[in-house]
Amino acid sequence: MKKSAMLIALTAAAALGQQASAVTVTIACGSVGQELQLCKDGAARWAKKTGNTVKVFESPNLTNDRLGLYQQQLAAKSSDIDVYQLDVVWPGLLAQHFVDLKGKVPAAEVNANFKAIIAADTVNGKLVAMPWFTDAGVLYYRTDLLKKYGYSAPPKTWAELAAMAKKIQDGEQKTNKAFAGYVFQGKNYEGLTCDALEWIASFGGGSIVDDSGKITINNPKAAAALNSAASWVGTISPKGVTTYDEEPARGIFQSGNAAFMRNWPYAWALGQGEDSKVKGNIGVSALPAGPGGQPAATLGGWQLGVSMYSKNQDAAIDLVRYLTGPAEQKIRAIEGSYNPTIASLYQDKDILKANPFFGSLLNVFTNAVARPSGPTKDKYNQVSQAFSTAVSDVLNKKMSGGAAVAQLSANLARIKGRGW
């Protein structure tokens, strides 16, 4: 055989070899804001690099709905989804269904991430998932409106926020009836757990259940925090706020109909987008503090884990390593303002240019308050649902803050009685 013919044959064999080992991996991604598109883009880059195929499974927006769906898939030991996007509060609930990534992902890659997130993703020594992006609640405000109404800085306390929101709302409503002072996540779901934990922690009222597993919610500061939030509903916030999750709140703020919004960092990139009515007029600060308290941001964020029932675990792990690696986290930070979990990326000039608040609020991201998913383990979802239901009752004026935290404390004790 001539040399050139031999080369061609070898290349063809190599191509065939690659063909034979190429697999299809399915990843379940969220779809809040730009989540789905960015997931598809990243997955496509991996597919191109490896010759494998990726299918992206679109998950519901609400984290509660996602959890329900995933629990069904996992309980049925379904191999349909190889890689799952997991909320930071889920590892304790779902650990048994995921491959231990310890040893499968090089230690240097694991250790490049914030320690607290790796700790949250580790259950009884098992690394359930790799961090993909982190989240913390922040306050968005309209820089143009603050100026217009004579304010030189965003509010430092909830009382200041209420006063500023009222003044701006009263002024703007003269020409825009739909204008709201403050929008947040008031619907009864996991997002309300996040918002309400911020109010309570910033009043010095603790974090529902402490690290040792003790129920701490029944205290006057927690009650006062809930009463203060209830006083916003129908005054500085529309009554409908008790039905809002992240996206409705963002929609109102981004269309120019709110002075302040509590949301996660993803709302920044969208708010600065070409089709945003408030582009160039958005400020981001830490959330306000309660009386005598400190600002508090709830720790959120998402991880990627490989299902034990996946038939393509090696390729799935490779996809997880690729998507959670620094190059992909950088792209997602710049295009979608998703906070990296890799500490060194907070020094990256391009990332800081696209998201100046990643630098100015670094302490907010590194000191965020965890929901009690660690101490309550596989009971976390019940705890969170009991909590958000109690908060929702207060927001809907069915109960006072004091009565709600007392009743909640008794409910939590019953859940704890079944073991956590």
Taking Cα atoms as reference points, which of 314, 405, 329 lies closest to residue 105?
314
> How many C-alpha atoms does 363 have within 13 Å on its Cβ side?
7
Nearer residue to ligand GLC within complex by CB, 204 or 301: 301
Smallest separation, CB 190 to ligand GLC (Å) = 4
Contacts of residue 251, Cβ cutoff 8 Å, sequence gap at least 6: none
Kindly tell me the burial class for residue 283, based on how many C-beta atoms sit within 10 Å of its own C-beta (0-12, 13-18, 19 or more): middle
**Residue 7: CB partners within 8 Å, gap ≥ 6?**
none
Q: What are the backbone dihedrals phi and psi of residue 98, each rounded to the nearest 5 degrees, phi first?
A: -115, 150
Query: SS3 of 165, please?
Result: helix
User: Residue 289 and residue 207: Cα distance in Å, rounded?
Assistant: 15
Among 82, 87, 198, 393, binds ligand GLC (CB under 6 A): 87
Strand partners, 29: 58
Q: CB under 6 A: which stretch of 69-77, 186-194, 198-206, 392-400 binds ligand GLC? A: 186-194
Q: What span, in angstroms and rounded, lies between the C-alpha atoms of 313 and 348?
A: 32
Answer yes or no whether residue 63 interacts with ligand GLC by CB under 6 A. Answer: yes
Integer Cα distance of 316 and 210 in angstroms: 36
Site string for ligand GLC, 296-335 (x = CB under 6 A): ----xxx---------------------------------
Cβ atoms of residues 180 and 236 within 8 Å: yes
Give the binding range for ligand GLC (CB under 6 A) out of 66-74, 87-95, 214-222, 330-338: 87-95
Q: Which stretch binds ligand GLC (CB under 6 A): 19-27, 83-91, 144-152, 227-235?
A: 83-91
Q: Taking CB under 6 A as the rule, does residue 191 contact ligand GLC?
A: yes
User: Which is nearer to ligand GLC, 319 or 368 (by Cβ)?
Assistant: 368
What ranges make up the beta strands (E) of 280-407?
A: 282-285, 299-306
DSSP string, 292-318: T-----BEEEEEEEEBTT-S-HHHHHH
Q: Which stretch binds ligand GLC (CB under 6 A): 72-80, 190-198, 324-332, 408-416?
A: 190-198
Q: Tell me the closest approach of the beta carbon of residue 410 to ligand GLC, in angstroms.
A: 25
- Residues in the interface with ligand GLC (CB under 6 A) total 13
Q: Which single residue brings its beta carbon nearest to ligand GLC? A: 300
- Taking the least distance from each CB to ligand GLC, the nearer of 56 and 196 is 196
Of the pair 117, 317, the CB lying nearest ligand GLC is at 117
Nearer to ligand GLC, 310 or 381 (CB): 381
The sheet that has 282-285: what strands, in order across it?
180-183, 258-263, 138-142, 282-285
Amino acid residing at 90:
W
In the numeric block, the tokens 């989240």 are attached to: 135
- Which range touches ligand GLC (CB under 6 A), out of 81-89, 214-222, 313-321, 353-361? 81-89
CB of 4 to ligand GLC, least distance (A): 56
Task: Determine how many CB atoms are found less than 10 A away from the CB of residue 409.
Answer: 18
| CB 286 to ligand GLC: min, Å | 17
Residue range at the interface with ligand GLC (CB under 6 A); choices 4-12, 77-85, 188-196, 325-333: 188-196
Candidate residues 28, 88, 215, 386; the one interacting with ligand GLC per rule CB under 6 A? 88
Nearer to ligand GLC, 238 or 300 (CB): 300
Closest separation in Å from C-beta 189 to ligand GLC: 7
For position 82 contacting ligand GLC by CB under 6 A, the verdict is no
- The answer to whether residue 264 forms part of the interface with ligand GLC (CB under 6 A) is yes
Catalog residues that contact ligand GLC under the rule CB under 6 A. Answer: 63, 87-89, 135, 190-191, 194, 246, 264, 300-302
